[in-house]
Structure 1
Amino acid sequence: MSENLIKASEGRPWAEWQQSAHLARASWITPEQLLPAGRRLVLLAPHPDDEILMAGGLLSGLHGREQDVLLISVTDGEGSHPESATWTEHRLRRQRPLESRHALQQLDLDLNRLDWRRLHLKDGALSRDEAFLVNHLNQLLKPDDVLMTTWRGDGHCDHEALGRAAAQAALARQVQLVEVPVWAWHWAQPDDPRLPWQRAHRIELDETRVARKRQALAAYHSQLEPDQGRAPVLPADLLDCMLQPFELVFL
């Protein structure tokens, strides 16, 4: 799928998604059903902010279980503002990981106990690194891990590359794969047949989890503020969809 689809789309407000019959049929699961005590979550984030967009609500309930989380930040997100004089690649490489640190703290996670690794791969070019990523994951994954990353059809080249690499590693290592749509909320129609609705589930989030996720997302100033007349990287409609009392996943 082309990123041109993302750029060309005007976005879908939550009011339209509320009319989705497919979404209404997606079964509900609790965070504890997805990640029972003792199982490790391996969360693979293509860019700083994706870990919160994908799983901020799930993560917000893991205070005291930080040892059950391995967070892998694959890029530093330096490509989010091409040709910007304000947000240069050099500045973004420093800023965006700092935003993620602050965001994770808003989820009440103890970062001293969290296994958080950064790979520093090039933003926008992860398709070149798929073989490396598969090999890296094959070495890291353990039986009973839950491997979560962006969906293979999400419309962003890095999201899709990670989804493909994770799917290959999950199959090889026989671990559960959880794919999360992010940009699909922006470009897809509410009952879009391109989404794998037969695999769709909603992780139930209570008000506290949603509030913490909202506070965490607010840490990403570089992605939320207009830049020299350009709209913010993260559209308001997308954020609204991702701050509902659930996180949509494909199992």
Structure 2
Amino acid sequence: MATVDSKHAPLHPIVGDRLIAGDGTSAQDWQAWQGLDSLTRLDISTHFSTHRRVCIFAPHPDDEILGCGGLLQALVAQGNQVLIVSVTQGEKSHPNSPLYPTDKLAKIRALESQLALETLGSSLDLPNVSMISLNFPDGEVFGRQADFFDKLTSLIQPADILITPFAYDGHPDHEGTGQVVQRFAHEFKSRLNLTCYQVLIWAWHWAKPGDSRIPWHKAWRFDLSELQAQRKSYAMRCFSSQIYADPTTGTAPILSDTTLTRLSQPFEVYLHD
């Protein structure tokens, strides 16, 4: 990504000052923040009953791993049914690239996502995971919220637990996804017995420790075991189209080493009322 002076950059029409620019806040800065230690731990045996299906919404085919790669392993090990919903195919991550035309990139990213899941554990370890794509155009989720909401009415089942990116995560597709899923969960909470969690993904980039733009009072920390963290790190490396520079355009990796290090920390943070 191009480096932007976020202090003097104009506000983005969707994400405002939550800009994904430069290297972002380092993993070391986050690790040094004592506020992370004070977060309530998320016990999946208490909060994720095994009879409830868990739906993980990924704006692009990689967000399910970047945000929830640790929790996903724990849910499968516990016996939960998991549905991964790719909102887009991520086909426009490399505009004007001879190496990655949109049709080709959509197929590549789907294969990368499948490989990442297999890297989390062999197919025998993941019998309860299914994947679907809603096929919304990459980069247009925020403007398609009404259509998105309508699709959820036929997708979501009673007692589902919904996991979505933070509604103010800093990427328009993430924010569109988070806001729609959160609104759906709120409107149908009583009728369908729904629960919704929001996961921080790009917020780790633009936010600072203790940042008031994140409702830390709603934050729950899920600690990964050493094996879970290792598998998540390996799985993130499966997204080759995102972690290497594009030699045909000179575009830097979308997921830089700094970003991967930041998302490889041995914890994930979820927001839940």
- What's the TM-score once normalised by structure 1's chain length? 0.92
Matched, 1:243 2:264: yes
> Which of 57, 63, 74 is 2:87 aligned to?
74
How far apart in 1 are the matches of 2:16 and 2:171? 5
Distance 1:41 1:63, change over 3 A: closer
Check conservation: 2:67, 2:199, Cα contact below 8 A.
yes
How far apart in 2 are the matches of 1:207 and 1:221? 24
Q: Which consecutive unaligned segments of at least 5 residues does structure 2 have?
A: 1-13
Q: Which has the higher contact order (CA 8 A, sep 6+)?
A: 1
Instruction: Tell me the CA shift for residue 199 of structure 1.
Output: 0.7
Q: CA RMSD in A?
A: 2.0
Instruction: Tell me the CA shift for residue 30 of structure 1.
Output: 2.7
Distance 1:138 1:67, change over 3 A: same
How far apart in 1 are the matches of 2:64 and 2:16? 20
Compare 174-183 and 127-136 and name the one that shifted more. Answer: 127-136
How far apart in 2 are the matches of 1:151 and 1:181? 5
SS at match of 1:247: strand
Matched, 1:214 2:229: no
Q: Tell me what 2:162 maps to.
A: 147
How far apart in 1 are the matches of 2:17 and 2:111? 29
Compare 153-162 and 83-92 and name the one that shifted more. Answer: 83-92
Q: Looking at CA atoms only, which structure, 1 or 2, has the larger radius of gyration?
A: 2
Matched, 1:20 2:33: yes
Deviation per CA, 1:10-40, whole angstroms, max 9, x where unpaired? 3111111123243232111233333232121
Q: Which consecutive unaligned segments of at least 5 residues does structure 1 have?
A: none
- What's the TM-score once normalised by structure 2's chain length? 0.85
Q: Tell me what 1:97 maps to.
A: 110
How far apart in 2 are the matches of 1:196 and 1:9? 24
1:43-122 alignment, distance < 5 Å: 43-63=56-76, 68-108=81-121, 110=123, 113-122=128-137
Deviation per CA, 1:47-84, whole angstroms, max 9, x where unpaired? 01001011111112344667611111111101111222
Identity score, percent: 36
Check conservation: 2:112, 2:240, Cα contact below 8 A.
yes
Instruction: Tell me the CA shift for residue 112 of structure 1.
Output: 6.3
Instruction: Tell me the CA shift for residue 5 of structure 1.
Output: 4.8
Q: Tell me what 1:172 maps to.
A: 187
Check conservation: 2:50, 2:80, Cα contact below 8 A.
no
How far apart in 2 are the matches of 1:10 and 1:211? 23
> Which of 115, 139, 144 is 1:124 aligned to?
139
Tell me the number of residue pairs that the alignment of Structure 1 and Structure 2 aligns: 251
